[in-house]
Amino acid sequence: MFENFFLKSTAIFIGLFLLIFLAVPIVQVFYVSFLDQNGHLTFVNFYDFFQSDLFIESLYNSFYVAFMSVVLSSIFAIPLAYFTCRFNFKASVLIQSLGFIPLIMPPFVGAVAMKLFFGTNGSVNLLLDDWFGFKIPFMEGLNGVIFVESVHYFPFILINLITSLNNIDRTMEESAQNLGSKGLRLFRRIVLPLSMPGYVAGASLVFLKVFDDLGTPLLLDANNMLAPQAYLRISSIGINDPMGYVIGVILVITSILAVWTAKLAFAGKDYSMLQKGGGGMIKRNLLPQQKVVAYSVVFLILFLVLSPHIALALLSFGTIWSFSVLPDAYTLAHYKSVFENSIFIKNTLLYCSIAALIDVVLGFFISYIVLRTKIIGRQLLDYIAMSALAIPGLVLGIGYLRTFYTINMPWNDKPLATWWFMIVIILAVRRLPYALRACNAVLMQISKYLEESAESLGAKKTTIFRKVLIPLMMGGLLAGFVTSFSTASVELSATIMLVSTESDAPLAYAIYSYMQTAAGRGPGAGFGIVGVCIVALGTYLSQMIIEKKYKQRGMEAKVE
């Protein structure tokens, strides 16, 4: 009886948490977008939106940038994925590990540095002009956003595409050959359709990420896009301006459509389930001339992938870097000011550890309730928690501002939205899906019998949690913690709305605000490097934990 009560009240508590900190703010954004100045329901805000040339242009630009980023990401990802899966290619390992590198740094961090590298008077164009007498407008206007976003997000397509290509059992191709099919026809009829779900999943993720991104366009002065417009409206005109909310609604709907597209792409097409054996596509050896082409492509893309990191590092160590291929001289001065302002780093470490802890606890209980109990509405809990993935951070931030600005903290009569702990909560809500996924993954692997045998020996639920489940899930819980922590530490779009004083600001905010001035770029880049190190370390740790866990559990996994 008690146990049931405990789990049920936990479920209700989590439900309330998600309701207050996820559902209500989003509903607020929708609600406000339909209110006129007198508080009556109306469509006039949407009408106004579509009457404004600026907003129409922003809408068009956002779609254009997101779409072109998908195109450019595909151009990076498809050859790499195909080389890895089709040929016996030594660089495959390199491709698969370099594929993850861009993901450890959000695009806005490297945006300014990329300008110095690829801009009209950046290193690459200076060299091109010197050698060949022409320049390529990598970073002109929207091109810059497209370029920076693609370099960062193409791994989403790469990883998904490689996974689905590797899932194509070689008998899929062999049986087609056996029936007389070959070459391009075979590729078009068998390989292409089978790899489509993976491609669409990756592409829609890229679309969503780019469409929602706030920091990159702001730092590249491409303000005529939806997310920057929403931010600028709210931050300059105020939280009562309806246009910010209208844009928020459009962002949410587009994101949900993108996620839905990915879902549709997979509906009834879990191809990996049907195929046993595996082994991926039929592999061929590269001819010598093909090898040259393949390696050149790989190294070109490798250079592009690493360029934001290299440029950021140069920027953080350089004195003056303008109209020259490399900085004039090198200095540690920027890191000195990073240390003098280490409050941002401390804030980030504090916020993100609390947020990640909340995520792991919630993730554990949600996955337990969903997988192990029959509590009514448990699936709903899971859906709502996971839906945070489809909610743009900016919109959630606006929703928090709107919802919690009118509520005052009892102890000092300041709005709740300005309290630093709200940053922690918004980070926790944003990163909950990551921790939840990690918890689900481990709990699904743990056989129910392990708990039932403890139960039959007279153990209570709490004892089972403490002595059986948590020790067994430790690896997954840790991995979830680290992932939530490290990705939260560079989160900008949600927190930017909620930072009320400098002293409460996290690292991402510092990077953003420093990067806006020429003098602040050096220290900003220094903060960027710190952020990259935190995420890289986190990613490395979680990989280590997962690998170690697999080694220990190798035996059990087979038995189950």
Partner 1 sequence: MSENIIEIKNINVSYGSNHVLKDVNINIKNKDFYTFLGPSGCGKTTLLRLIAGFEKSQSGELYIDGKEVSNSSPWERDVGMVFQNYALWPHMTVFKNISFGLEEKRLSSTEIKKKVEEVLELVDLKDLSKRYPYQLSGGQQQRVALARTLVVRPKVLLLDEPLSNLDAKLRVQMRKELLDLHQKLDITTIFVTHDQEEANGMSTNLAIFNEGIVQQIGRPIDVYNQPTNLFVANFMGTINVIEGQVQNGKFKSKQGMIINNVTASEGNHSILLRPQNLYLQKNNNSLQEFDAKVVSVEFLGNLIRYFIKILDHELIVEDLHEINKKIYVKGESIKVYLDSEKIKIL
Contacts by 13-20, CB closer than 8 A, 24 or more apart: 14/362, 14/365, 14/366, 14/369, 14/381, 14/385, 15/377, 15/381, 15/384, 17/362, 18/381, 18/384, 18/385, 18/429
Angle between helix 242-266 and 53-86 (nearest 10): 30
> Quick check: 201 binds partner 1 (CB under 8 A)?
no
- Token code pair at residue 553: 């559990």
Q: Are 21 and 425 in contact (CB under 8 A)?
A: yes
Please report how close the Cβ of residue 287 comes to partner 1 at its closest, in angstroms. Answer: 17
Please report how close the Cβ of residue 165 comes to partner 1 at its closest, in angstroms. Answer: 14
Q: Which is nearer to partner 1, 173 or 504 (CB)?
A: 173
Please report how close the Cβ of residue 457 comes to partner 1 at its closest, in angstroms. Answer: 36
Question: Shortest CA distance to 485 belongs to which of 438, 547, 552?
Answer: 438
> Which region among 167-175, 313-321, 500-508, 542-550 touches partner 1 (by CB under 8 A)?
167-175
Please report how close the Cβ of residue 90 comes to partner 1 at its closest, in angstroms. Answer: 18
Please report how close the Cβ of residue 108 comes to partner 1 at its closest, in angstroms. Answer: 39
Which backbone phi and psi does 408 adopt, to 5 degrees?
A: -95, 145
Please report how close the Cβ of residue 172 comes to partner 1 at its closest, in angstroms. Answer: 6
Greatest CA separation for the chain: 81
Give the per-residue contact string, 121-160, with partner 1 (x = CB under 8 A; - = no): ----------------------------------------
> Quick check: 510 binds partner 1 (CB under 8 A)?
no
> Which region among 36-44, 265-273, 332-340, 431-439 touches partner 1 (by CB under 8 A)?
265-273
Which residues, at least 6 apart from 405, have a Cβ–Cβ distance to it below 8 Å?
Answer: 239, 415, 416, 417, 418
Question: Shortest CA distance to 118 belongs to which of 157, 99, 145, 91?
Answer: 145
> Which region among 83-91, 146-154, 171-179, 523-531 touches partner 1 (by CB under 8 A)?
171-179
> Quick check: 193 binds partner 1 (CB under 8 A)?
yes
Please report how close the Cβ of residue 204 comes to partner 1 at its closest, in angstroms. Answer: 19
Please report how close the Cβ of residue 38 comes to partner 1 at its closest, in angstroms. Answer: 55
Give the residue, chosen from 92, 96, 120, 171, that forms a contact with partner 1 under the rule CB under 8 A.
171
Give the residue, chosen from 194, 311, 362, 385, that forms a contact with partner 1 under the rule CB under 8 A.
194
- Restricted to residues 391-430, the positions that interact with partner 1 (CB under 8 A) are none
- Rounded Cα distance between 455 and 466, Å, is 13
Place of tokens 């991402």: 508
Q: Which is nearer to partner 1, 203 or 220 (CB)?
A: 203
Q: Which is nearer to partner 1, 267 or 519 (CB)?
A: 267
Q: Which is nearer to partner 1, 3 or 270 (CB)?
A: 270
- Rounded Cα distance between 449 and 35, Å, is 54
Please report how close the Cβ of residue 64 comes to partner 1 at its closest, in angstroms. Answer: 31
- Rounded Cα distance between 250 and 63, Å, is 11
- Rounded Cα distance between 263 and 269, Å, is 10
Q: How many residues bind to partner 1 according to rule CB under 8 A?
A: 27
> Which region among 85-93, 135-143, 225-233, 268-276 touches partner 1 (by CB under 8 A)?
268-276
Q: Which is nearer to partner 1, 3 or 174 (CB)?
A: 174
Question: Shortest CA distance to 520 belongs to which of 282, 299, 285, 341?
Answer: 341
Give the DSSP letter string of 303-371.
Answer: HHHHHHHHHHHHHHHBS--SSSSS-SSB-SHHHHHHHHTTHHHHHHHHHHHHHHHHHHHHHHHHHHHHH
- Restricted to residues 172-191, the positions that interact with partner 1 (CB under 8 A) are 172, 174-182, 185, 189-190
Q: What angle do CA 436, 440, 442 make, to 5 degrees?
A: 120
Q: Is the dihedral of CA 117, 118, 120, 124 positive or negative?
A: positive
- Rounded Cα distance between 340 and 336, Å, is 6
Q: Which is nearer to partner 1, 69 or 195 (CB)?
A: 195
- Helix, strand, coil percentages (3-state) for the chain, rounded to 5, are 75, 0, 20
Please report how close the Cβ of residue 186 comes to partner 1 at its closest, in angstroms. Answer: 9
> Which region among 103-111, 143-151, 168-176, 537-545 touches partner 1 (by CB under 8 A)?
168-176
Give the residue, chosen from 268, 410, 458, 554, that forms a contact with partner 1 under the rule CB under 8 A.
268
Q: Are 152 and 102 in contact (CB under 8 A)?
A: yes
Which residues on neighbouring strands pair with residue 373, listed in sequence order?
A: none
- Restricted to residues 269-298, the positions that interact with partner 1 (CB under 8 A) are 269-271, 273-277
Q: Which is nearer to partner 1, 263 or 460 (CB)?
A: 263
By CB under 8 A, name the binding residues for partner 1: 169, 171-172, 174-182, 185, 189-190, 193-194, 196, 268-271, 273-277
